Amino acid sequence: MHARAVSRRTARVSGARGGARKSGGAVAGARETAAAAVAGAAGRAVVAGARGESLPREQLVEIQRARLLAAAVVAIDELGYADTTVSDVTNRARVSRRTFYELFSNREECLAAVLEDVVVLVRGEIAAAGLEGLAWCERVRGGLWAVLSFLDREPVLARVCVVQSLRGGAEVLVRREEILAGLARVVDEGRIETARGGQCTPLTAEGVVGAAFAIVYARLLRGEPGPLTGLLGELMAMIVLPYRGAAAARRELARPEPSVSPHGAPRLRAPAGGAVGDPLQGVSMRLTYRTARVLEGVAARPGASNREVAERAGIEDPGQVSKLLARLERLGLLVNTSGGHAKGEPNAWSLTSLGERVTAQLSLKDGRGREAA
Protein backbone atom coordinates (compact mmCIF):
# COMPACT_ATOMS: atom_id res chain seq x y z
CA MET A 1 0.00 0.00 0.00
CA HIS A 2 2.78 2.41 0.99
CA ALA A 3 4.74 1.61 -2.19
CA ARG A 4 1.69 2.35 -4.36
CA ALA A 5 1.17 5.70 -2.59
CA VAL A 6 4.79 6.68 -3.17
CA SER A 7 4.49 5.67 -6.81
CA ARG A 8 1.35 7.77 -7.25
CA ARG A 9 3.00 10.78 -5.61
CA THR A 10 6.05 10.48 -7.84
CA ALA A 11 3.92 10.35 -10.96
CA ARG A 12 1.79 13.31 -9.88
CA VAL A 13 4.77 15.46 -8.95
CA SER A 14 6.38 14.69 -12.30
CA GLY A 15 3.22 15.59 -14.19
CA ALA A 16 2.64 18.75 -12.18
CA ARG A 17 6.19 19.95 -12.70
CA GLY A 18 5.98 19.34 -16.42
CA GLY A 19 2.76 21.32 -16.67
CA ALA A 20 4.20 24.18 -14.65
CA ARG A 21 7.28 24.49 -16.82
CA LYS A 22 5.17 24.61 -19.96
CA SER A 23 2.99 27.40 -18.61
CA GLY A 24 5.71 29.47 -16.97
CA GLY A 25 4.81 28.24 -13.50
CA ALA A 26 2.10 28.67 -10.93
CA VAL A 27 3.98 31.62 -9.45
CA ALA A 28 2.87 33.65 -12.46
CA GLY A 29 -0.35 34.12 -10.50
CA ALA A 30 1.58 36.40 -8.19
CA ARG A 31 1.46 39.08 -10.89
CA GLU A 32 -1.85 40.06 -9.26
CA THR A 33 -0.36 39.10 -5.86
CA ALA A 34 0.13 35.60 -4.57
CA ALA A 35 -3.14 35.76 -2.67
CA ALA A 36 -5.02 36.37 -5.91
CA ALA A 37 -3.46 33.25 -7.36
CA VAL A 38 -4.84 31.22 -4.47
CA ALA A 39 -8.28 32.75 -4.90
CA GLY A 40 -8.20 32.28 -8.66
CA ALA A 41 -7.26 28.62 -8.48
CA ALA A 42 -9.88 27.95 -5.82
CA GLY A 43 -12.46 29.83 -7.83
CA ARG A 44 -11.89 27.72 -10.91
CA ALA A 45 -12.37 24.54 -8.90
CA VAL A 46 -15.56 25.86 -7.24
CA VAL A 47 -17.06 26.97 -10.57
CA ALA A 48 -16.30 23.60 -12.11
CA GLY A 49 -17.87 21.82 -9.15
CA ALA A 50 -20.98 24.00 -9.29
CA ARG A 51 -21.44 23.10 -12.92
CA GLY A 52 -21.15 19.44 -12.12
CA GLU A 53 -18.02 19.16 -14.22
CA SER A 54 -15.43 16.53 -13.50
CA LEU A 55 -12.01 18.08 -13.81
CA PRO A 56 -9.35 15.95 -15.49
CA ARG A 57 -6.86 14.60 -12.95
CA GLU A 58 -3.96 16.54 -14.50
CA GLN A 59 -5.88 19.82 -14.32
CA LEU A 60 -6.90 19.18 -10.72
CA VAL A 61 -3.29 18.47 -9.76
CA GLU A 62 -2.16 21.67 -11.50
CA ILE A 63 -4.76 23.73 -9.62
CA GLN A 64 -3.78 22.19 -6.29
CA ARG A 65 -0.12 22.78 -6.99
CA ALA A 66 -0.81 26.39 -7.98
CA ARG A 67 -2.74 26.98 -4.76
CA LEU A 68 0.02 25.47 -2.64
CA LEU A 69 2.83 27.41 -4.31
CA ALA A 70 0.95 30.71 -4.09
CA ALA A 71 0.06 30.02 -0.46
CA ALA A 72 3.69 29.16 0.29
CA VAL A 73 4.81 32.52 -1.09
CA VAL A 74 2.30 34.37 1.09
CA ALA A 75 3.09 32.34 4.23
CA ILE A 76 6.87 32.61 3.87
CA ASP A 77 6.67 36.36 3.28
CA GLU A 78 4.44 36.82 6.33
CA LEU A 79 6.11 34.42 8.76
CA GLY A 80 9.63 33.92 7.44
CA TYR A 81 10.91 30.64 6.04
CA ALA A 82 12.16 29.31 9.36
CA ASP A 83 8.76 29.74 11.04
CA THR A 84 6.59 28.58 8.15
CA THR A 85 5.18 25.08 8.52
CA VAL A 86 3.45 22.80 6.06
CA SER A 87 0.23 23.47 7.97
CA ASP A 88 0.66 27.23 7.41
CA VAL A 89 0.80 26.55 3.68
CA THR A 90 -2.04 24.05 3.48
CA ASN A 91 -4.35 26.17 5.67
CA ARG A 92 -3.88 29.19 3.41
CA ALA A 93 -4.32 27.09 0.29
CA ARG A 94 -7.28 25.18 1.76
CA VAL A 95 -5.63 21.98 0.60
CA SER A 96 -5.11 18.90 2.74
CA ARG A 97 -1.72 17.89 4.12
CA ARG A 98 -2.14 14.61 2.25
CA THR A 99 -2.40 16.49 -1.03
CA PHE A 100 0.66 18.56 -0.13
CA TYR A 101 2.74 15.44 0.44
CA GLU A 102 1.45 13.91 -2.79
CA LEU A 103 2.97 16.88 -4.65
CA PHE A 104 6.02 17.79 -2.53
CA SER A 105 8.27 15.74 -0.32
CA ASN A 106 8.57 18.57 2.21
CA ARG A 107 8.52 22.32 2.71
CA GLU A 108 11.98 22.58 1.16
CA GLU A 109 10.88 21.07 -2.13
CA CYS A 110 7.93 23.46 -2.24
CA LEU A 111 10.16 26.55 -1.92
CA ALA A 112 12.55 25.11 -4.52
CA ALA A 113 9.56 24.83 -6.88
CA VAL A 114 8.74 28.51 -6.26
CA LEU A 115 12.32 29.44 -7.19
CA GLU A 116 12.14 27.31 -10.33
CA ASP A 117 8.92 28.96 -11.48
CA VAL A 118 10.36 32.43 -10.93
CA VAL A 119 13.46 31.53 -12.95
CA VAL A 120 11.20 30.46 -15.83
CA LEU A 121 9.31 33.76 -15.67
CA VAL A 122 12.45 35.91 -15.60
CA ARG A 123 14.07 33.97 -18.44
CA GLY A 124 10.94 34.56 -20.51
CA GLU A 125 11.12 38.31 -19.91
CA ILE A 126 14.82 38.44 -20.80
CA ALA A 127 14.12 36.51 -24.01
CA ALA A 128 11.29 38.92 -24.84
CA ALA A 129 13.63 41.89 -24.43
CA GLY A 130 15.39 41.03 -27.72
CA LEU A 131 18.96 41.07 -26.39
CA GLU A 132 20.31 38.31 -28.60
CA GLY A 133 23.12 39.53 -30.86
CA LEU A 134 23.88 42.64 -28.80
CA ALA A 135 27.37 43.37 -27.50
CA TRP A 136 28.21 41.89 -24.10
CA CYS A 137 27.73 45.12 -22.18
CA GLU A 138 24.29 45.72 -23.73
CA ARG A 139 23.19 42.14 -23.06
CA VAL A 140 24.22 42.37 -19.42
CA ARG A 141 22.57 45.76 -19.00
CA GLY A 142 19.34 44.65 -20.65
CA GLY A 143 19.25 41.43 -18.64
CA LEU A 144 19.94 43.25 -15.38
CA TRP A 145 17.19 45.76 -16.15
CA ALA A 146 14.74 42.90 -16.79
CA VAL A 147 15.63 41.21 -13.49
CA LEU A 148 15.39 44.42 -11.44
CA SER A 149 12.12 45.38 -13.15
CA PHE A 150 10.65 41.98 -12.33
CA LEU A 151 11.66 42.26 -8.68
CA ASP A 152 10.14 45.74 -8.49
CA ARG A 153 6.84 44.52 -9.94
CA GLU A 154 6.75 41.44 -7.70
CA PRO A 155 7.89 42.60 -4.23
CA VAL A 156 6.51 39.55 -2.43
CA LEU A 157 8.27 37.15 -4.78
CA ALA A 158 11.40 39.32 -4.53
CA ARG A 159 11.50 39.02 -0.75
CA VAL A 160 10.80 35.30 -0.79
CA CYS A 161 13.26 34.40 -3.55
CA VAL A 162 16.10 36.77 -2.64
CA VAL A 163 15.85 37.12 1.14
CA GLN A 164 13.99 34.10 2.50
CA SER A 165 15.59 31.56 0.14
CA LEU A 166 18.93 32.27 1.80
CA ARG A 167 17.44 30.79 4.97
CA GLY A 168 16.37 27.59 3.24
CA GLY A 169 17.86 24.15 3.52
CA ALA A 170 20.38 22.35 1.35
CA GLU A 171 18.09 21.84 -1.66
CA VAL A 172 17.07 25.50 -1.85
CA LEU A 173 20.63 26.75 -1.32
CA VAL A 174 21.95 24.46 -4.06
CA ARG A 175 19.32 25.78 -6.48
CA ARG A 176 20.18 29.34 -5.50
CA GLU A 177 23.87 28.70 -6.17
CA GLU A 178 23.00 27.24 -9.57
CA ILE A 179 21.08 30.41 -10.45
CA LEU A 180 23.97 32.66 -9.40
CA ALA A 181 26.44 30.45 -11.31
CA GLY A 182 24.34 30.88 -14.45
CA LEU A 183 24.44 34.67 -14.05
CA ALA A 184 28.19 34.53 -13.46
CA ARG A 185 28.67 32.65 -16.74
CA VAL A 186 27.00 35.50 -18.61
CA VAL A 187 29.17 38.11 -16.90
CA ASP A 188 32.29 35.99 -17.51
CA GLU A 189 31.81 36.47 -21.25
CA GLY A 190 33.28 39.94 -20.66
CA ARG A 191 36.73 38.35 -20.57
CA ILE A 192 36.75 38.08 -24.37
CA GLU A 193 35.65 41.68 -24.91
CA THR A 194 38.97 43.48 -24.43
CA ALA A 195 42.60 42.84 -23.56
CA ARG A 196 41.87 44.16 -20.08
CA GLY A 197 39.03 41.67 -19.72
CA GLY A 198 41.38 38.87 -20.66
CA GLN A 199 43.30 39.50 -17.46
CA CYS A 200 40.26 38.59 -15.39
CA THR A 201 39.42 35.07 -14.25
CA PRO A 202 36.07 33.27 -13.77
CA LEU A 203 36.35 34.21 -10.10
CA THR A 204 35.93 37.87 -11.12
CA ALA A 205 32.46 37.16 -12.48
CA GLU A 206 31.52 35.18 -9.37
CA GLY A 207 32.61 38.09 -7.19
CA VAL A 208 30.75 40.69 -9.24
CA VAL A 209 27.51 38.68 -9.29
CA GLY A 210 27.81 37.92 -5.58
CA ALA A 211 28.31 41.59 -4.78
CA ALA A 212 25.32 42.63 -6.91
CA PHE A 213 23.15 39.99 -5.24
CA ALA A 214 24.27 41.15 -1.80
CA ILE A 215 23.31 44.75 -2.60
CA VAL A 216 19.83 43.76 -3.81
CA TYR A 217 19.44 41.45 -0.80
CA ALA A 218 20.29 44.26 1.61
CA ARG A 219 17.79 46.66 -0.01
CA LEU A 220 15.00 44.10 0.20
CA LEU A 221 15.90 43.04 3.74
CA ARG A 222 15.77 46.63 5.00
CA GLY A 223 12.67 47.42 2.99
CA GLU A 224 14.24 50.58 1.59
CA PRO A 225 11.96 52.82 -0.47
CA GLY A 226 12.62 53.40 -4.13
CA PRO A 227 12.73 50.99 -7.05
CA LEU A 228 15.55 48.49 -7.47
CA THR A 229 15.87 49.67 -11.08
CA GLY A 230 17.43 52.81 -9.61
CA LEU A 231 20.52 50.67 -8.90
CA LEU A 232 21.05 49.90 -12.60
CA GLY A 233 23.80 52.46 -13.28
CA GLU A 234 25.83 51.70 -10.17
CA LEU A 235 25.54 47.94 -10.56
CA MET A 236 26.53 48.14 -14.23
CA ALA A 237 29.52 50.34 -13.36
CA MET A 238 30.61 47.75 -10.81
CA ILE A 239 30.19 44.93 -13.36
CA VAL A 240 32.08 46.53 -16.26
CA LEU A 241 34.91 48.04 -14.19
CA PRO A 242 37.18 44.96 -14.06
CA TYR A 243 36.53 44.11 -17.72
CA ARG A 244 36.53 47.49 -19.45
CA GLY A 245 38.08 49.95 -17.02
CA ALA A 246 37.16 53.13 -15.16
CA ALA A 247 36.09 55.13 -18.22
CA ALA A 248 33.51 52.51 -19.20
CA ALA A 249 32.28 52.38 -15.60
CA ARG A 250 31.80 56.17 -15.58
CA ARG A 251 29.82 55.93 -18.82
CA GLU A 252 27.50 53.38 -17.25
CA LEU A 253 26.94 55.68 -14.28
CA ALA A 254 26.02 58.54 -16.63
CA ARG A 255 23.57 56.55 -18.76
CA PRO A 256 19.87 57.12 -18.09
CA GLU A 257 17.64 54.18 -17.35
CA PRO A 258 16.33 52.44 -20.48
CA SER A 259 12.67 53.36 -20.78
CA VAL A 260 11.45 49.96 -21.82
CA SER A 261 8.40 48.28 -20.43
CA PRO A 262 8.73 45.39 -17.98
CA HIS A 263 8.03 43.04 -20.86
CA GLY A 264 10.73 44.43 -23.14
CA ALA A 265 8.84 46.79 -25.45
CA PRO A 266 9.80 50.48 -25.37
CA ARG A 267 7.21 52.73 -23.78
CA LEU A 268 5.76 55.62 -25.74
CA ARG A 269 6.00 59.04 -24.18
CA ALA A 270 2.78 61.06 -24.36
CA PRO A 271 3.32 64.63 -25.63
CA ALA A 272 2.80 67.47 -23.20
CA GLY A 273 -0.19 68.67 -25.16
CA GLY A 274 -2.13 65.49 -24.53
CA ALA A 275 -2.59 62.09 -26.10
CA VAL A 276 -2.25 61.67 -29.83
CA GLY A 277 -2.60 58.74 -32.16
CA ASP A 278 -0.14 55.97 -31.52
CA PRO A 279 2.47 56.09 -34.32
CA LEU A 280 2.97 52.34 -33.88
CA GLN A 281 -0.62 51.64 -34.83
CA GLY A 282 -0.52 49.52 -37.94
CA VAL A 283 3.17 48.64 -37.54
CA SER A 284 3.13 44.85 -37.30
CA MET A 285 6.32 44.56 -35.28
CA ARG A 286 6.99 44.50 -31.57
CA LEU A 287 9.70 47.06 -30.86
CA THR A 288 12.36 45.53 -28.63
CA TYR A 289 15.20 47.40 -26.95
CA ARG A 290 17.52 46.38 -29.79
CA THR A 291 15.13 47.65 -32.46
CA ALA A 292 14.76 50.96 -30.65
CA ARG A 293 18.55 51.29 -30.47
CA VAL A 294 18.78 50.84 -34.24
CA LEU A 295 16.16 53.52 -34.89
CA GLU A 296 17.88 55.88 -32.46
CA GLY A 297 21.22 55.21 -34.16
CA VAL A 298 19.86 56.04 -37.60
CA ALA A 299 18.16 59.16 -36.22
CA ALA A 300 21.48 60.34 -34.75
CA ARG A 301 23.39 59.62 -37.97
CA PRO A 302 21.25 59.80 -41.13
CA GLY A 303 22.88 57.97 -44.03
CA ALA A 304 24.61 55.49 -41.72
CA SER A 305 25.88 52.24 -43.20
CA ASN A 306 25.07 48.79 -41.83
CA ARG A 307 28.36 48.77 -39.94
CA GLU A 308 27.79 52.21 -38.44
CA VAL A 309 24.28 51.29 -37.34
CA ALA A 310 25.56 48.07 -35.77
CA GLU A 311 28.25 49.95 -33.84
CA ARG A 312 25.78 52.51 -32.50
CA ALA A 313 23.23 49.85 -31.56
CA GLY A 314 25.79 47.49 -30.03
CA ILE A 315 25.02 44.59 -32.43
CA GLU A 316 28.04 42.43 -33.19
CA ASP A 317 26.57 40.03 -35.76
CA PRO A 318 26.51 41.64 -39.27
CA GLY A 319 23.88 39.17 -40.41
CA GLN A 320 21.52 40.11 -37.61
CA VAL A 321 21.79 43.84 -38.23
CA SER A 322 21.20 43.29 -41.96
CA LYS A 323 18.03 41.29 -41.28
CA LEU A 324 16.76 43.85 -38.80
CA LEU A 325 17.42 46.79 -41.13
CA ALA A 326 15.68 44.99 -43.99
CA ARG A 327 12.67 44.29 -41.81
CA LEU A 328 12.45 47.91 -40.67
CA GLU A 329 12.63 48.96 -44.31
CA ARG A 330 9.74 46.64 -45.23
CA LEU A 331 7.71 48.13 -42.37
CA GLY A 332 8.24 51.62 -43.77
CA LEU A 333 10.34 52.88 -40.86
CA LEU A 334 13.66 53.10 -42.74
CA VAL A 335 14.71 53.88 -46.30
CA ASN A 336 17.99 53.03 -48.01
CA THR A 337 19.09 56.18 -49.83
CA SER A 338 22.23 54.74 -51.44
CA GLY A 339 22.62 53.15 -54.82
CA GLY A 340 22.95 49.80 -53.05
CA HIS A 341 25.06 46.85 -54.05
CA ALA A 342 24.48 47.43 -57.77
CA LYS A 343 26.95 50.31 -57.61
CA GLY A 344 29.16 48.76 -54.98
CA GLU A 345 28.17 51.38 -52.44
CA PRO A 346 27.41 50.76 -48.77
CA ASN A 347 23.84 51.15 -47.61
CA ALA A 348 22.83 54.58 -46.34
CA TRP A 349 19.91 54.35 -43.93
CA SER A 350 17.56 57.18 -43.01
CA LEU A 351 14.27 57.37 -41.19
CA THR A 352 11.02 57.70 -43.10
CA SER A 353 8.39 60.14 -41.84
CA LEU A 354 6.74 57.26 -39.99
CA GLY A 355 10.11 56.21 -38.62
CA GLU A 356 10.74 59.74 -37.40
CA ARG A 357 7.41 59.83 -35.56
CA VAL A 358 8.01 56.43 -33.97
CA THR A 359 11.55 57.32 -32.92
CA ALA A 360 10.44 60.66 -31.52
CA GLN A 361 8.10 58.81 -29.17
CA LEU A 362 10.64 56.28 -27.93
CA SER A 363 11.95 57.16 -24.49
CA LEU A 364 15.55 56.21 -25.13
CA LYS A 365 16.91 59.71 -24.59
CA ASP A 366 17.47 61.77 -21.50
CA GLY A 367 15.84 65.08 -20.80
CA ARG A 368 18.37 66.98 -22.93
CA GLY A 369 17.82 64.79 -25.95
CA ARG A 370 21.21 63.13 -25.79
CA GLU A 371 21.58 59.57 -26.90
CA ALA A 372 21.20 57.09 -24.05
CA ALA A 373 24.15 54.98 -25.10
Share the mean pLDDT of the chain.
75
The pTM is what?
A: 0.60
Report the Cα–Cα distance between both ends of the chain, in Å, rounded: 65
Boundary (domain end) residue, out of 71, 105, 139: 105
Structural domain includes residue 279: no
CATH number at residue 165: 1.10.357
Structural domain includes residue 183: yes
Within this chain, do residues 80 and 145 fall inside the same structural domain, yes or no? no
What is the domain extent for residue 294?
A: 289-361
The total number of structural domains that make up the chain: 3
What confidence tens digit (pLDDT) does each residue in 102-160 have?
999 999 999 999 888 888 888 888 888 888 888 899 999 999 999 999 899 888 889 99
Boundary (domain end) residue, out of 105, 139, 159: 105
What confidence tens digit (pLDDT) does each residue in 47-105 have?
444 344 455 677 778 778 888 888 899 899 999 999 999 999 999 888 899 999 999 99
Could you please report the per-residue DSSP string of 142-205?
HHHHHHHHHHHH-HHHHIIIIIGGGGS-HHHHHHHHHHHHHHHHHHHGGGGTSHHHHT--HHHH
* 242-250 average pLDDT score: 93
Within this chain, do residues 194 and 141 fall inside the same structural domain, yes or no? yes
**Alpha-carbon gap, residue 122 to 137, rounded angstroms:** 19
By the 8 A CB rule, do 62 and 21 touch? no
Structural domain includes residue 366: no
Structural domain includes residue 314: yes
Minimal CA–CA distance to 320: which of 334, 309, 332?
309
Residue 320 pLDDT grade (very low, low, confident, very high; cuts 50, 70, 90): confident
Within this chain, do residues 138 and 188 fall inside the same structural domain, yes or no? yes
Minimal CA–CA distance to 245: which of 313, 198, 181, 185?
198
Q: Which amino acid is at 79?
A: L
Structural domain includes residue 300: yes
* 326-347 average pLDDT score: 74
Q: Which amino acid is at 86?
A: V
